[in-house]
Chains A and B, each alone.
Chain A
Amino acid sequence: MMKRRQFVQSVGAAGSLSAIGMMSGCASTGSSSSGLKVVVVGGGYGGATAAKYVRMWSDYGIDVTLIEPNSTFISCPISNLVIGGTKTMADITTPYDNLLKRHGVRLVQDMVTRIDPDKRVVMLAKGGELPYDRLIVSPGVDFMWENLPGMAKEGAKDKVLHSWKAGAQTVALRKQLEAMPDGGVYALTIPMAPYRCPPGPYERACQVASYFSKAKPKSKVLILDANDDVTSKGPLFKKAWAERYKGMVEYRGKHKLADVDAATNTLKFEFSEDVKAAVLNVIPDMRAGDIAVKTGMATANKRWCEIDFLTFESKVVKNVHVLGDSIQIAPAMPKSGHMANQHGKTCAAAVVALLTGKQPNPLPIYNNTCYSFVSDEDVVHVASVHRYDVEKMTMLPVPGAGGVSSAANELEGRYAMAWARNIWADTLA
Chain B
Amino acid sequence: MKWNPLLLAGALAAFSIGAQAQAMDPLQVRSMAASCASCHGTHGVAQAGNESLAGVNKDELLKKMLDFKTGKKPATIMHQLSKGYSDDQLAALAAYFSALKK
Bound together, the chains give a CA A423 to CA B35 distance in angstroms of 11
Q: Smallest distance from the beta carbon of A344 to chain B beta carbons, Å? A: 10
Given A381-B77, A422-B38, A425-B41, residue A361 in contact with residue B47 (CB < 8 A): no
The answer to whether B84 and A398 touch across the interface, beta carbons within 8 angstroms, is yes
Give the residue of B25, B31, B41, B76 whose beta carbon is less than 8 angstroms from that of A422.
Answer: B41
In the bound complex, do residue A398 and residue B83 qualify as a contact, i.e. CB atoms below 8 Å apart? yes
Contact A345 B31 (CB under 8 A): yes
Question: Looking at B30, B38, B80, which has the most chain A CB atoms within 10 Å of its CB?
Answer: B38
| Nearest CB of A to B53, in Å | 11
- Contact in complex: A421, B47 (CB < 8 Å): yes
Which residues of B come within 8 Å of A, CB atoms?
25, 27-28, 30-32, 34-35, 37-42, 46-50, 76-77, 80-85, 89
Bound-state Cα–Cα, A57 to B49, Å: 27
Given A53-B34, A364-B31, A367-B35, verify A417-B49 contact (CB < 8 Å): yes
Interface pairs (6), CB distance under 8 Å = A57-B30, A361-B27, A384-B84, A401-B83, A422-B40, A423-B38
Task: State the CA gap A414–B77 with chains docked (Å).
Answer: 13
Per-residue interface assignment for chain A, residues 306 to 343, with 1 indicating a CB less than 8 Å from any chain B CB and 0 otherwise: 00000000000000000000000000000000100110
Going nearest first, the 9 A-B pairs with the smallest beta carbon separation are A385-B84, A418-B49, A401-B84, A366-B35, A401-B83, A398-B84, A421-B47, A403-B80, A418-B50
A402 engages B31 (CB within 8 Å)? no
Check B50 against A422 for contact (C-beta < 8 Å). yes
Assess whether A415 is in contact with B80, with CB atoms less than 8 Å apart.
no
Question: CB < 8 Å: which of A365, A415, A417, A425 contacts B77?
Answer: A415
> In the bound complex, do residue A342 and residue B38 qualify as a contact, i.e. CB atoms below 8 Å apart?
yes
Does A367 contact B47, Cβ atoms closer than 8 Å? no
B34 contact set on A, CB distance < 8 A: 53, 345, 349
* Known contacts A345-B31, A345-B35, A364-B31: A385-B81 contact under CB 8 Å: yes
Interface residues of A (CB under 8 A from B): 53, 56-57, 338, 341-342, 345-346, 349, 353, 361, 363-367, 369, 381, 383-385, 387, 398, 400-403, 405, 409, 411-412, 414-415, 417-419, 421-423, 425-426, 429
User: Please, which residues of chain A bring their CB within 8 A of the CB of B82?
Assistant: 401
Interface contact A365-B85, CB-CB below 8 Å: yes
- Using Cβ atoms and an 8 Å threshold, which residues of chain B touch A421? 47-49
Contact of A385 with B31 at beta-carbon distance under 8 Å, contacts A369-B77, A401-B80, A418-B47 already known: no
Closest CB in chain A relative to B15 CB, distance in Å: 23
| A365 with B32: CB separation less than 8 A | yes
| Chain B residues closer than 8 Å to A345, beta-carbon distance | 31, 34-35, 37
Residues of B within 8 A of A422 (CB): 37-41, 46-47, 49-50
Chain A, residue nearest B47 (CB): A421
Interface contact A341-B76, CB-CB below 8 Å:
no
In the complex, what's the smallest C-beta–C-beta distance from A76 to chain B, in angstroms?
Answer: 15
CB neighbours (8 Å) of A402 from chain B are 80-81, 83-84
Using known A-B contacts A361-B27, A412-B76, A421-B47, determine if residue A369 contacts B38 with beta carbons closer than 8 Å: yes
Q: For residue B80, which residues in chain A have a CB less than 8 angstroms away from its CB? A: 383, 401-403
With A365-B35, A366-B35 given, is the CB distance from A426 to B84 under 8 Å? no
* Nearest-neighbor residue (CB-CB) of A419 within chain B: B39
What residues on A are CB-neighbors of B83 within 8 Å?
385, 398, 400-402
Alpha-carbon distance between A144 and B50 when the two chains are bound, in angstroms = 39
A345 to B47, CA, bound (A): 19
Q: Are B76 and A415 in contact (CB under 8 A)?
A: yes
Smallest CB separation, A275 vs chain B (Å): 37
Known: A342-B38, A385-B83. A365 touches B27 (CB 8 A): no
Chain B residue at minimum C-beta to C-beta distance from A401: B84
Closest chain B CB from A411 CB (angstroms): 6
B69 CB to closest chain A CB (Å) equals 9
Shortest CB-to-CB span from B70 to chain A, Å, is 12
CB pair A415–B28 under 8 Å, yes or no, is: no
CB <8 Å contact, B49 and A425: no
Chain B residues with CB under 8 A of A369: 38-39, 77, 81
| Sample of 5 further A-B pairs with CB below 8 A, known A381-B77, A421-B49 | A365-B84, A385-B84, A398-B83, A421-B48, A425-B42
**Closest chain A CB from B86 CB (angstroms):** 10
